[in-house]
Amino acid sequence: MHHEGNLRKLKSQLMNPVEYGMPLNKVVVPLNPLIGKYISLQYKGLINCIHCGRRTSKSFSQGYCFPCMRSLAECDTCIVRPETCHFAEGSCRDEKWGETNCMQDHVVYLANSSAAKVGITRSTQVPTRWIDQGASQTLPIFKVGTRLLSGKLEHILRQQVSDRTDWRKMLKGEPKAIDLRALRDQLFEAMRSQIESLIREEEDGAIEWLDAELLDIRYPVLEYPEKANPLNFDNTHEIHGRLMGIKGQYLILDKGVVNIRKFGGYRIRLSY
Ligand SMILES: [Zn+2]
């Protein structure tokens, strides 16, 4: 079988294990049935911007052309640094986008992908965001009304816990379980005065403390690699091998791993 189209990030569904699909030219190819089988991704030497479709020789911010990267709100630096959201100052690149994406409920969460980390996401992106990061355990700890506020909380908490995922470690196996509820309580204790002073600055009820359930996420992986060797369409026109599993946005092949999200807009032909 063959499917050709421009890569977009993998679609996922929270099942046990997670179910993945690869969107290619209006179809979503179910990937779980291909695990254990030989697959090939052939790069056709063409990249189309995932926003405007324009042909671009280089992709920026995981799939955009240069003009889109410079003009779209979703490519602004405040997206990676949410505590710098400048919507309230009236300088958002696209107010409508900001309204639907940033001026919405967000959660601050703890996760375990290779070690403990803190992160934020729009409430509607739960659990997609966690699956995209390859988290094995997650625990929402705050609910807030805007991206900016979630960023300010994350900014406080990352003095104690990393906000990064070590993807090499994440792809080497299941992480050791962490008691995220105990970690949350420790963090609240350690950062109490900073969190409380932020709460005082904000309107009543703007920050909601959560007592949520821990979520365990399992990924469809036959065997983890000893070393996660990254494969890249900029160096090779064909990535192929036996599909050993999928975790986060990574396909784990017997010859190496490929981050599908990183190659958004690349035109490829999937064969299996
Ligand atoms: Zn574009």
Residue 204's pLDDT is: 84
Quick: pLDDT tens for 216-264: 999 999 999 999 999 999 999 999 999 999 999 999 999 999 999 999 9
Look up the pTM and report it. Answer: 0.95
Residue 109's pLDDT is: 98
Q: How far is the CA of 189 from the centre of ligand 1 (A)?
A: 46
> Hey, what amino acid is at 215?
L
Q: How far is the CA of 212 from the centre of ligand 1 (A)?
A: 39
Residue 214: burial class (beta carbons within 10 Å; 0-12, 13-18, 19+): middle
Q: How far is the CA of 70 from the centre of ligand 1 (A)?
A: 10
Q: How far is the CA of 197 from the centre of ligand 1 (A)?
A: 42
Q: How far is the CA of 49 from the centre of ligand 1 (A)?
A: 5
Residue 92's pLDDT is: 96
Q: Report the distance separating Cα 150 and Cα 155, nearest Å.
A: 9
Q: How far is the CA of 51 from the centre of ligand 1 (A)?
A: 5
- Which residue intervals of 205-249 are DSSP H helices? none
Q: How far is the CA of 66 from the centre of ligand 1 (A)?
A: 7
Show me where the domains of the chain are located.
2-63+219-271, 70-216
Q: How far is the CA of 59 from the centre of ligand 1 (A)?
A: 9
Please give the helix or strand (H or E) that residue 43 lies within, else none: strand 38-47
Q: How far is the CA of 69 from the centre of ligand 1 (A)?
A: 7
Residue 17: asked if its preceding bond is cis (omega within 30°), the reply is yes
Q: Report the distance separating Cα 63 and Cα 248, nearest Å.
A: 18
Quick: pLDDT tens for 195-226: 999 999 998 888 999 999 999 999 999 999 99
Grouped pLDDT means (10 residues each) for the chain, 272 residues: 97 98 96 98 97 96 96 94 94 95 96 96 97 98 96 96 95 96 96 95 90 96 95 95 98 97 98 98
Q: How far is the CA of 141 from the centre of ligand 1 (A)?
A: 36
Q: How far is the CA of 228 from the centre of ligand 1 (A)?
A: 31
Backbone angles phi, psi at 64, to 5 degrees: -100, 155
Q: How far is the CA of 162 from the centre of ligand 1 (A)?
A: 33
Q: Could you give the percent of the chain with pLDDT greater than 70?
A: 100
Residue 171's pLDDT is: 97
Q: How far is the CA of 150 from the centre of ligand 1 (A)?
A: 29
